[in-house]
Amino acid sequence: MKEFVPAKKHMTLSVGDSVRIVRELQELSQNQLAELTGIPQSTISSIESGRINRGVERAKILAAALKCHPAVLVFPDWQPDTIHAA
């Protein structure tokens, strides 16, 4: 059996990108996500475009509505091999 070869990283994701990608994978519009979360659609748009920070509490709310772990939204580019103990 061949050794595992990690996939090559092709792009860097922002927090806003991760919110948009998870939302689109679930076929939700920004308006539908706004209804699920109580966060205004304009705020969701601003988060996705990177104009405002999402914040911890908003990340929890968005993650619950998108049925994913908050880390998916907070750390979209986390790679375990790049983290070293202090």
Number of domains into which the chain is organized: 1
Q: What is the DSSP letter of 52?
A: S
How many Cβ atoms from other residues are within 10 Å of residue 74's Cβ? 17
Tokens of 71: 């880390």
| Residue 64 near residue 72 (C-beta atoms within 8 A) | no
Instruction: Indicate whether 84 belongs to any domain.
Output: no
Tokens of 54: 């999402």
Query: For the segment 19-54, what is each residue's pLDDT rounded down to a tens digit?
Result: 999 999 999 999 999 999 999 999 999 999 999 887
Instruction: Indicate whether 46 belongs to any domain.
Output: yes
Instruction: Indicate whether 22 belongs to any domain.
Output: yes
Query: For the segment 33-42, what is each residue's pLDDT rounded down to a tens digit?
Result: 999 999 999 9
Confidence at residue 44, expressed as pLDDT on a 0 to 100 scale = 95
Query: For the segment 53-68, what is each residue's pLDDT rounded down to a tens digit?
Result: 878 889 999 999 999 9
Place of tokens 């619950």: 64
How many Cβ atoms from other residues are within 10 Å of residue 37's Cβ? 18
Confidence at residue 6, expressed as pLDDT on a 0 to 100 scale = 72
Q: Which of 15, 16, 12, 19 has the alpha carbon at shortest distance from 63?
A: 19
Q: Quote the domain boundaries for residue 24.
A: 15-74
pLDDT band (50, 70, 90) for residue 74: confident
Instruction: Indicate whether 57 belongs to any domain.
Output: yes
Residues 6 or more apart in contact with residue 55 via CB below 8 angstroms? none
